[in-house]
Structure 1
Amino acid sequence: MLQESKGWAWLYLCIAILLLIIGIAAPFVRDLFLSLKPEGDTPAQWLERTGAVTTIFGLLAINLIDEGIERLVPSRKLADTGGVATFAVFETIFTWIKRFAFLLTIAGTLVWGYGTVIMVVLNKAA
């Protein structure tokens, strides 16, 4: 049971990290998806849309980590010692991933809401 718990923990952790990488990359690779951009949208509006993607992937990563914790140490049930021991091994990294995902969600929300302003400021600085 302990080995199975570790396998699930690694799976949840790897998928959460993949989701965070996609969320981080979204604003930087937005030009790859210009064919999907509506005709009337400006590049600043397109940046705002990537903020939504970043926010969603950050929230998905948080949810996935929570599901991983729930799988290791089920709430409302007595946990097996293997799950608790595995959780103790992964607790620190799960906590840091959740914190980072939360910050990414905040950053994505700011880009989503103020992407146009960010582009104006960046264009003036250049």
Structure 2
Amino acid sequence: MGKLIAIAALLLVLGVIPTSLALILDWQPEGDSPGVWFQRSGSILVVFSVLADAILASLFTSLFPGSQTVVLTDDDAVSLKPLYTIVSIFAVVFTVVGTVIWGYGDLLL
């Protein structure tokens, strides 16, 4: 379970890199403005964030079982709950931010 949360966190980091580079570097193709390139990078952030969220969703019932769920005792699940929550929050925030950048990034710069 811990490895899957780490993979989800890595996907979030990989999604943020192109968006950050689009803000810092002047690497867009000739004819595109920096705003348009920043806008395009938002789609990459959304894709990686959704993938991370899908991984996290697959772990949800294992870490947060309902009252009708049969659970095998697993001490690791208890220790992973805070990490799971933090990475989940970032996945949702990055999905929203990436979508805003994707739609309005050229207007934000």
- Could you state the TM-score of these two structures normalised by the residue count of structure 2? 0.79
Structure with greater helix share of residues: 1
Q: Cα–Cα, structure 1 residues 60 and 32, in superposed 2: closer, same or farther, change >3 Å? A: farther
Aligned-partner residue type, residue 42 of structure 2 = G
The reply to whether residue 51 of structure 1 matches residue 6 of structure 2 is no
Work out whether residues 44 and 116 of structure 1, in 8 Å CA contact, stay in contact via their aligned partners in 2: yes
Q: What's the offset of the Cα at 1:60?
A: 1.1
Structure 2: any 5+ residue segments left out of the alignment?
Answer: none
- Could you state the TM-score of these two structures normalised by the residue count of structure 1? 0.70
Q: What's the offset of the Cα at 1:41?
A: 3.2
SS in structure 2 at match of 1:27? helix
State the partner residue of 2:14. Answer: 22
The reply to whether residue 106 of structure 1 matches residue 96 of structure 2 is yes
Structure 1: any 5+ residue segments left out of the alignment?
Answer: 1-8, 120-126
Query: Could you tell me the percent identity over the aligned residues?
Result: 27
* Rg larger for: 1
SS in structure 2 at match of 1:48? helix
